[in-house]
Each structure stands twice: as structure tokens, then as C-alpha cells.
Amino acid sequence: MVFHEVEQRLKALMLRAQAGDGQAWREVLTLLNARLTPYFRRRLGPEHAAEVEDLVQETLLAVHSRRMTYDATQPFTAWAHAVARYKLIDHWRRRRVRRHVPLDDVADTLWIDADHEGEVAADLDRLLGGLPSKQEQLVRGVKIEGLSLAEAGERFGMTEGAAKVSLHRALKALMAKVGSRGD
């Protein structure tokens, strides 16, 4: 099943579930379980199978308790991914683990197939388009093109320190923007 079909199916089921359809809600949870398990397994590794199962359950409980906050005008998979991502971050914080997930990992985390690269690029353009121009250029340069902070600073006419501060602010703004959609 390609991403677009998964999104349509999950969204339709979620809307039915919000309207009180118990069978649709069970299907949502079953489909999410099948997607969350590999998502967490990739991030934690095979040696943490018990933690993977715990995170899947925590995420399903969070989705269940927040299901009425889902905004039908937004993609369901993005909302569910945000809930899962926050559960993973909470897990890492409890264990004092620091991990960096690159911005260009968005395609993987949203269950996008290679056929939907254009959609991913459009979503990324829309998301980055809300940033000030210099910050957008820094995010694209450092996180997408792979420039170092020194290279990006030189390219955009700023010191490495200024580039680091500006990039941090841009990423913080993006996290706030994405987080406001997934809470």
C-alpha cells in the first residue's frame, strides 16, 4: 500500500472513529501498531525489543486519549507521527539519551514511498516557507545540502556562530510549528 492510500485509509477510519464507530477505531489502532513497531525498532535497535513494545503501547494510548483533538483538515499520518515522535523524545529524556534526527529524515518518518518525493518536497517547501529567508536558507544549506555551519555562514554572509544561533532558532520555530499540529 503506497503512502497516499495509507493516509486516505487511516484518515477515513479516524473520522469514522471520532464519530463513534468502534470497529473503525480498532482498525486505526491495528494499522498504527503495524507502522509504529518498525518506526520505533529503527530508532531504538533490535536489542531494545521490550522498549519498542512499550513505546508502541504508550503511543497508542496517547492517540486514544487525544483522538478528539485530531483536526480533520490535516493529514492523519502527520498527526500520529507527531504523537509517536513526542513519545520517543520522552523515552530518550527519561533515559538521558540524546539523538539527532535529521530534518531530511521526514520522508522516512512519515511513511512516504519514493513515488511521493514531489509531495514531500512540496510539504517541506510549505513548512520552510514560513521561516525568514535567511533561516530558510540555513536550514536548506545545513540540514538538506549537508553544509557545515562554517560553510553555510560563509555562503550566507554571517559568522559560524551567527549561523549556529540562527539555525537553532529556525529549527526551534519549525518544531513549534509541527508540534502545534500534533498535540
Is 108 among the domain residues? Answer: yes
In 3D, which of 4, 21, 23, 24 has the Cα closest to residue 13?
A: 24
Helices (H), 19-159: 22-44, 49-66, 76-94, 106-109, 117-128, 133-139, 149-155
Last residue of a domain, one of 56, 88, 115: 115
Mean pLDDT of the 71-91 span: 89
**Own/partner long-range contacts of 142-146 (Cβ < 8 Å, ≥24 apart):** 142/167, 143/102, 143/103, 143/104, 143/171, 144/103, 144/104
Name the DSSP class of 110. T
| Percent of the chain's residues with pLDDT above 90 | 27
Number of structural domains, the chain? Answer: 2
Please tell me the pTM assigned to this model.
0.52
CATH number for 69? 1.10.1740.10
Is 22 among the domain residues? Answer: yes
The CA-atom distances, in angstroms, between 92 and each of 13, 81, 104, 144, 171 are 31, 16, 21, 25, 19
pLDDT at 27 exceeding the cut of 70 = yes
Same domain, yes or no: 96 and 10: yes
Mean pLDDT of the 27-50 span: 89
Cα-atom radius of gyration of the chain, to the nearest Å? 18
Same domain, yes or no: 8 and 56: yes
Assess contact for 8 and 23: CB atoms under 8 A. no
Same domain, yes or no: 107 and 140: no
Greatest pairwise CA separation for the chain in angstroms: 57
Same domain, yes or no: 174 and 140: yes
Last residue of a domain, one of 63, 87, 115: 115
Same domain, yes or no: 38 and 102: yes
Name the DSSP class of 14. H
The predicted structure's pLDDT at residue 112: 45
Same domain, yes or no: 96 and 144: no
Chain centroid to CA 99: how far?
Answer: 14
Mean pLDDT of the 35-39 span: 90
pLDDT band at 182 (very low <50, low <70, confident <90, very high): very low
Instruction: Identify the domain containing residue 154 by its residue range.
Output: 129-183
pLDDT at 48 exceeding the cut of 80 = yes
